[in-house]
Amino acid sequence: MSSKDLHTLGLTQLAKGLDSGEFTSVELVQALLDRIEAHDKELNAFVTVTADAALEAAERSDERRRKGENGVLNGLPIVHKDIFCTRGVLTTCGSRMLENFVSPYDATVVERLADAGAVMLGKTNMDEFAMGSSNETSYFGPVKNPWDLDCSPGGSSGGSAASVAARIVPAATGTDTGGSIRQPAALTGTTGLKPTYGRVSRFGMIAFASSLDQAGVITRSAEDAALLLGVMAGFDARDSTSIDHPVPDYLAGLDRSLEGLRVGIVRQHFDAGLDAATGKAVREALAALESRGASLTEVDLPNLDLSVPTYYVVAPAECSSNLSRFDGVRFGHRAQDPEDLLDLYCRSRGEGFGAEVKRRILTGTYVLSAGYYDAYYLKAQQVRQLIADDFRKAFADVDVIAGPTAPAPAFRLGDKTDDPITMYLNDIYTIGANLAGLPAISIPCGFAGELPVGLHLVGPHFGEERLLNTAHQYQLDTDWHTRCPEGYA
Amino acid sequence: MSLDKDQVQHIAMLARLRVADDEIADTVDKLSRIVDFVDQLSQADTVDVVPMAHPLDAAQRLRADVVTEPDERDEFQKNAPAVADGFYLVPKVIE
């Protein structure tokens, strides 16, 4: 293996090469830094590249390897979505508000991956405060989709998805509040996992909607996602919603046969709103699962249509509360020459936030304001309960629910920016899992024209093992996840 | 339009968010569309449905009331726009 080809390998293959001494972490990291240099001008996937720190960390990992002190990710490169706090490194959340914010501490996710030996190469671009499905709300400009540079990579974890798809890095962290890991994974032909709510710590992950936010990964295979989840998952006392639940050996669970797996299909997922070529690719994937011994059953999620409106009450309400911390006083953007304290607050926030973030704060403030709370927020939390009940009933009969991740392949940049509702409906298949706190994964399952299509698998709470197992078995039979966009081989 | 300019200005003040004059028409239009869209929730039958408090029905965890964090004020204040003698500076509030 020449160092020219190291970018083509996933985490598991890279770990083997490092273990056998075929190449060092320093060589690997240098090769990927060269990829960033060569390709990020066109993709805009990175906000910050930490080249010097990465080479130093790689050197230390090589040293540890020589001494036989090996973490499971020792010397393996990773990038973090710029929503995760990284000590001493710029953490912008894609916003002018945090343009100059240098975090004084590490997020738990960042810390755990570093403790296992992973080497951070940089921070990836994202929709501002993770509010968006196209990466166009970033203060630092949109990320481009490596499959077609005129298209969006999806969002909000668009920089993470684009950098993994373009073979710049083997893996990236992401966060998912309504589909922000899975939708960009689908649109870029990568594997994206959103774990169960509370499975991975939210400490140091800049909050958007705290009852929905969950950290996860974007990788080139389910096997690599299993490797990372094993390191990231687990109880964290610093996150008040972290769940103390044993972490299984996700890698050991991958080999299980799909014989007898009960796969639920939701009829509404294949209704008129679905692009024809996307539907065809997903149906072929379902047939492939069947040929491995899985059985397909129709399940009913009667309140599914209400998931997007429910989300657009709950998420903005929580966002308006969470983002009140940005007041121009303790950190973040501050307006020049304020007349008084009120002017300082209003102008710092008015200048620091972009249009979509402002809309969500205003929507949230409205639904929580006096006289409207019962009609909107309380009502939405009731409907949310109905949606969660639908899933609970469905999972009495099936092990996973399968369908499309997104209604259509990647759309052109600028196509959906005029109407917020059109953009919001992009997450119609993914939002339910967030509202019910369920784990879900998107894996590549074919193409619509030249653009990749994602298969969406949802599991019951703490069902990550079966999701990863199903995805892995599918990836043993198919090569969609190994397809590389032209010009990035 | 389900919202008007005055309502949006009122909400913006509650949110301590300045909406510039050239942004206001677009904000009223888009917020109205969002409110119309989420209004479909009113059709759902939610009689006797307990609102969700937590997706896994978990309760808030308590911890012992002991000091667990060291003082890192100097470190934290490196990100502050204006500080003096360990304090955060804001425009004069009390006359």
Query: Chain A within 8 Å of B86 (Cβ-Cβ)?
Result: no
Q: How confident is the model at residue B95 (pLDDT cuts 50, 70, 90)?
A: confident
Average pLDDT over residues A196-213: 98
The pLDDT tens digits of the residues spanning A54-67 come to 999 999 999 999 99
Average pLDDT over all residues of chain A: 97
Inside any domain, residue B36:
yes
pLDDT in tens, A216-258: 999 999 999 999 999 999 999 999 999 999 999 999 999 999 9
Question: Nearest-5° angle of CA A227, CA A229, CA A235?
Answer: 135
Q: Is pLDDT above 80 for A106?
A: yes
Q: Write the pLDDT tens digit of every residue in A261-293.
A: 999 999 989 988 899 999 999 999 999 999 999
Note whether residue B33 is domain-resident.
yes
Number of domains forming the structure of chain A: 1
Is the omega angle on the peptide bond into residue A257 within 30 degrees of 0, that is, cis?
A: no
- pTM tops 0.95, yes or no: yes
The residue segments making up the domain with residue A250 are 3-258+439-482
> Would you tell me which residues 354-393 of chain A have a C-beta closer than 8 angstroms to some C-beta of chain B?
355, 358-359, 361-363, 365-367, 369, 375-376, 378-386, 388
- B31 in reach of chain A (CB within 8 A): yes
CB neighbours (10 Å) of residue B70? Answer: 7
At A2 the pLDDT is 67
Q: Is residue A241 within 8 angstroms of chain B, CB to CB?
A: yes
- Give the separation between CA A17 and CA A24, rounded to whole angstroms: 8
Contacts of B2 in chain A (CB under 8 A): none
Query: What pLDDT was estimated at residue B60?
Result: 85
Indicate the pLDDT class of residue A48, thresholds 50, 70 and 90: very high
pLDDT band for A34, please (50, 70, 90 cuts).
very high
Q: What confidence score (pLDDT) does residue A233 get? A: 98
Cβ <8 Å between B17 and A303: no
* Residue A376 scores a pLDDT above 90: yes
For residue A301, tell me if it sits in a domain: no
Does some domain include residue B54? Answer: no
Considering CB atoms only, which of B51, B76, B92 is closest to A385?
A: B51
pLDDT tens, position by position, A397-447: 999 999 999 999 999 999 988 888 888 888 999 999 999 999 999 999 999
Q: Which chain A residues in 465-484 lie under 8 Å from chain B, judged by CB atoms? A: none
Indicate which residue of A25, A61, A81, A307 is catalytic. A81
A41 catalytic? Reply is no
Give the Cα separation of A386 and A202 in Å (integer): 26
How many A/B residue pairs have CB atoms within 8 Å? 172
In a domain, B67, yes or no: no
Which of B27, B33, B44 minimises the CB distance to A383? B44
Comparing C-alpha atoms, which of A138, A217, A210 is closest to residue A184? A217
Query: Does the CA dihedral A410-A413-A418-A423 come out positive or negative?
Result: positive
Give the domain range for residue B17: 5-43
Contacts of A379 (CB under 8 A, 6+ apart): A313, B41, B42, B44, B46
Q: Which residues, including other chains, have CB under 8 Å from residue A293's CB and lie 6 or more apart?
A: A257, A258, A259, A260, A261
Q: pLDDT grade, residue A468 (50/70/90)?
A: very high
Q: Which of A313, A414, A424, A358 is nearest to A97 (CA)?
A: A358
At A1 the pLDDT is 56
Q: Which of A110, A56, A54, A42 lies closest to A81, judged by CA?
A: A110
Give percent of chain A with pLDDT exceeding 70: 99
Residue B84 in contact with partner chain A when CB distance is under 8 A = no
Contact: B58, A198; criterion CB under 8 Å: yes
Q: Is the pLDDT of residue A95 over 70?
A: yes
- Does B23 reach chain A within 8 Å, measured CB to CB? yes
Residue A369 and residue A374: Cα distance in Å, rounded?
10
- Within 10 Å of residue A290's Cβ, how many Cβ atoms? 14
* Chain B environment of A378 (Cβ under 8 Å): 51
* A334 assigned to some structural domain: no
Could B75 and A104 be called an inter-chain contact, meaning their C-beta atoms sit closer than 8 Å?
yes
The ipTM estimated for the assembled molecules is 0.96
Per-residue confidence at A23, pLDDT binned at 50, 70, 90? very high
**Which one-letter amino acid corresponds to residue B65?**
D
The chain A residue lying nearest B68, using CA atoms, is A238
Kindly state the average pLDDT of the residues A89-108. 98
* Residue whose pair of structure tokens reads 């090996």 in the numeric block: A70
CATH code of the domain in which B28 resides? 1.10.20
pLDDT at A302 over 90: yes
Give how far B2 is from chain A: nearest CA, Å: 12
Structural domain total, chain B: 1
Residue pair B78/A104 in contact by the 8 Å Cβ criterion: yes
Section A354-359 average pLDDT? 96
- Please, which pLDDT band fits residue A189 given cuts at 50, 70 and 90? very high
Q: What distance in Å separates the CA atoms of residue A204 and residue A193, rounded to the nearest whole number? A: 19
In this predicted model, what pLDDT tens digit does every residue of A70-84 receive, in sequence order?
899 999 999 999 999
pLDDT at A30 over 70: yes
Structure confidence at residue B59 (pLDDT):
87
The answer to whether residue A81 is catalytic is yes
**Residue B52 domain-assigned (yes or no):** no
A180 is catalytic: yes
The number of helices, as runs of H, and strands, as runs of E, in chain B is: 3, 2
CATH at residue A100: 3.90.1300.10
Catalytic: which of A103, A138, A152, A156? A156
Is residue A244, in this structure, part of any structural domain at all?
yes
Q: Is the pLDDT of residue A88 over 80?
A: yes
On chain A, the residues whose CB falls within 8 A of the CB of B8 are 362
Burial class (CB in 10 A: 0-12, 13-18, 19+), A128: buried
Euclidean distance between CA atoms A85 and A422, whole angstroms:
31
Nearest residue to A86 via CA among A104, A74, A61: A104
pLDDT value of position A309: 97
Q: Is A416 left (phi over 0), alpha (psi -120 to 50) or beta?
A: alpha
